[in-house]
Chains A and B, each alone.
Chain A
Amino acid sequence: MVKGTITIDQDRCKGCELCTGVCPKDVLVMDNDTLNAKGYHPALLQDPDELCTGCAQCAVICPDVCITVYRDPIPAR
């Protein structure tokens, strides 16, 4: 299984929640404990079981380019 992860620039996030709606692994939530500089609850990756595959669907739908997507390097066979 490809392993991946994302980083979220929480300062850019406007709390539109679109990313949480498209994550196939449901590992994106709204961070209700944080208010960013714009006064929004930013999105948050909650992926204790490392389910994220780096599919980038969240980044594709994010209107504010908050999400950078990483994948584990696939070792050369």
Chain B
Amino acid sequence: MMRDAPISDRVVVYERPQALADIHTHYCPGCTHGISHRLVAEAIDELGLNDRAIIVASVGCSVFSYNYFDIDACEAAHGRAPAMATGLKRVSPDRLVFTYQGDGDLASIGTAEIIHAAARGEPVTAVFVNNAIYGMTGGQMAPTSLPGQKTTSSPFGRSTDIAGFPIRMSEVLAELDGSAYIVRRSLHNVKEIRRAKKAIKTAFKVQMAGLGFSMVELLSTCPTNWGMSASDALTWVADTMVPYYPLGDYRVIDAVKDL
């Protein structure tokens, strides 16, 4: 065994994926956006789609995601990424077109767009970051905020009398026949992050095989606006979010299994 072989002789087993631009992100310390960005980039690298990938960035903390990927990119209006992706994909059928959206973008203002993209079976992929809050605007309640969750716009805790109930988007989209692959994963520990990576890669394969609409919902953290440390935030996802948003495969059509 080469005990203390110099670094240069050692084998790199894990490094920044090519599809991820080599720049620092603006995300807060411990924010899992950085993880989901890397997983998407790893999937693009492993599928060799770097030269054919187009990201449709949305409006939210990830609004600068077009800077953080080394692929063609555009920026959609708040909530409209699935529509923009539809237009892009319809005229670029052999490209990988995916949206990267937060819960405010996808589950609030953009509900119609995501539902109809799925209903039409658009062969695009939505990477859906659910962190139960509006991050960029400073911590307001989102449609995915949990009952009782305190935010800057639900200071007494989300009251279901006033603000109704959180929306489980994976379950909603799983009902639509145009959906081919709808799963919910989480980023709250290493095992789940690895499973999330696999799901994103599968979703991209589903798209490139033209099997229909795919979405990977990723339970994510917002340490800053949750007012927690990065590790406590991961725990909160596991202990509080997962019970309300069970992880699992919500719609996987047969053809996906043969990929």
Contact between chains at A3 and B13 (CB < 8 Å): no
Contact between chains at A69 and B15 (CB < 8 Å): yes
Q: Is B12 part of the contact surface with A, judged by Cβ < 8 Å? A: yes
Q: Is B257 part of the contact surface with A, judged by Cβ < 8 Å? A: no
Residue of A nearest to B2 (CB): A72
Q: How far is the CB of B222 from chain A (nearest CB, A)?
A: 12
Known: A5-B7, A68-B14, A73-B11. A60 touches B193 (CB 8 A): yes
Q: Of the 9-residue stretches B94-102, B110-118, B226-234, B247-255, which lies at the interface with chain A? A: B226-234
Contact between chains at A14 and B11 (CB < 8 Å): no
Known: A3-B3, A73-B10. A63 touches B34 (CB 8 A): yes
**Which A positions have Cβ atoms within 8 angstroms of B?**
3-5, 7, 11-12, 14-18, 21-22, 40, 50, 54, 56-57, 59-65, 67-73, 75
Q: List 27 A-B contacts (CB under 8 A).
A: A3-B2, A3-B3, A4-B10, A11-B24, A16-B30, A16-B223, A17-B229, A17-B231, A21-B231, A50-B3, A59-B14, A60-B190, A61-B35, A63-B29, A63-B230, A65-B20, A68-B15, A69-B13, A70-B7, A70-B10, A70-B13, A71-B10, A72-B1, A73-B5, A73-B10, A73-B11, A75-B1
**Which B positions have Cβ atoms within 8 angstroms of A?**
1-5, 7, 9-16, 20, 24-25, 27-35, 38, 189-190, 193-194, 223, 229-231, 234
